[in-house]
Amino acid sequence: MSSFAPELQTLQERLQAAKRITVLTGAGISAASGVPTFRGDGGLWRNHRSQDLATPQAFERDPKLVWEFYQWRRNKVSHCRPNAAHEVLAEWSRHPDGFQLITQNVDGLHELADTRNVVRFHGTLWELSCWRRCPESPQSWEDRSDSLPPLPQCPFCGGLARPAVVWFGEPIAPHVLQNAAAALHCDVFITIGTSALVYPAAGLIEQAAREGAYTAEINPEATPASRFVDLPIAASAEKFLPLLEKFRI
Ligand code: NAD
C-alpha cells in the first residue's frame, strides 16, 4: 500500500463526486521529463538566472543573448518526452466536458501527450511573434525549426521576432484570462508542480478556493499555496498521479 494512502483516498473520493475538474500545472510536472525548472537545480544558464533572461528588458538590452537562451531551451525540450503525470492528465482530458487544464508551461509536453482543452497561460516555445507587434503580423506563428538564425526575423515586417511566451512583467492576453477564469468554476481544482510565486497564475489557486472548489496541491516542496489548499500532498507528480489512476475507485 502506498504511503500516500489517506491522501489518495480523499482525493479519489472528491474526484469521483466531481462534475468539473480543473488542473493547473507548472514547471515541476515536466521536471521528470528532463525540462529544467526555473527555481530548482538547472535554473541557471551560463550563470544567468533564467528569470533574469525571461523579461522584455533583457530582450531589449541583448536580444542575441536571450535568443541563445531560448534556442538552448528549445533544443533541450525537443529531446524531452511527456512523463507518466502528463499521460494521466491526457487521459482525464478525454472526458472533455468536465475537465480543463491550465498550464504555465511553455514546453508543449501536454500537447505532445495529446491533452485536450489546454489553456496555455504563458504561451509556447514553439511559436514566435513580432517584437514590435507590427500590424501585418498575426499574434504569433508556429516555428518548430531546430536551426533558427541567431536573431530570427518577423516575416511580415523584417524586424526582430521573439519567442511567443509571456515574460515576467508582461500581461496575460485577455482571452487567455477569460478562459482561465471560466475554468475556475469547478468542483475540484488541483495545482501541480508550481512554486505558486508567479502571478497572476498563482492567484488562480486562491480564486478557485474562494469560488468554492475543493483544492489540492501536488508538489514535493511546500509552497505559499500549501498553507491554504484543502489537501497539500508532498509528492512528485509523476509518482502520485499514476497512483491516483491505479487506485481509482
Ligand atoms: P518554478 O520553477 O517556479 O517551480 C517549480 C515547482 O515544481 C517547485 O515548486 C518544485 O518544488 C516543483 N517540482 C519540482 N519537481 C517536481 C515534481 N517531480 N513533481 C511536482 N512538482 C515538482 O515553476 P513555475 O511555478 O511553473 O513558474 C515558473 C514560470 O516559468 C512558469 O510560469 C513558466 O512560464 C516558466 N517555465 C516553464 C517551464 C516549462 O515549460 N517546463 C520550465 C521553467 C519555467
For residue 215, how far is its CA from the centre of ligand 1 (angstroms)?
19
Query: Radius of gyration (Cα) for the chain, nearest Å?
Result: 18
Which one from 79, 95, 122, 185 is the annotated catalytic residue? 122
Strands 188-192 and 161-165: unpaired
> What's the pLDDT score for residue 187?
96
Q: Is the dihedral of CA 36, 122, 223, 12 positive or negative?
A: negative
Distance between CA atoms of residues 93 and 114, nearest Å: 9
Contact (CB, 8 A) for 98 and 18: yes
pLDDT in tens, 63-73: 999 999 999 99
> What's the pLDDT score for residue 247?
62
The mean per-residue pLDDT over the stretch 86-95 comes to 93
- Is ligand 1 within 6 A of the CB of residue 106? yes
Contact (CB, 8 A) for 140 and 164: yes
- 79 assigned to active site: no
pLDDT at residue 146 tops 90: no
Of ligand 1's listed atoms, the one at least distance from the Cα of 193 is 21
In the chain, what percentage of residues exceed pLDDT 70? 96
- Is ligand 1 within 6 A of the CB of residue 27? yes
Quick one: cell of 15? Answer: 474526484
> What's the pLDDT score for residue 1?
46
Distance between CA atoms of residues 163 and 177, nearest Å: 20
Residue at grid coordinates 518526452: 81
**SS in 3 state form for 166-206?**
CCCCCCCCHHHHHHHHHHCCCCEEEEECCCCCCCCCCHHHH
- Is ligand 1 within 6 A of the CB of residue 225? no
Question: Whose CA is closest to atom 21 on ligand 1?
Answer: 193
Distance between CA atoms of residues 165 and 108, nearest Å: 12
Alpha carbon 240 to chain centroid distance?
18
Question: Whose CA is closest to atom 43 on ligand 1?
Answer: 37
Contact (CB, 8 A) for 209 and 228: yes
My answer on whether omega of the bond before 163 falls inside 30° of 0, hence cis, is no
Quick one: cell of 210? Answer: 474562494
Q: Give the pTM.
A: 0.94
Distance between CA atoms of residues 201 and 49, nearest Å: 20
Of ligand 1's listed atoms, the one at least distance from the Cα of 194 is 25
> What's the pLDDT score for residue 109?
98
> What's the pLDDT score for residue 59?
98
Question: Whose CA is closest to atom 37 on ligand 1?
Answer: 105
pLDDT at residue 5 tops 90: no
Confidence band, pLDDT 50/70/90 cuts, at residue 221: very high
Chain-wide mean pLDDT for the chain? Answer: 93
Distance between CA atoms of residues 175 and 199, nearest Å: 17
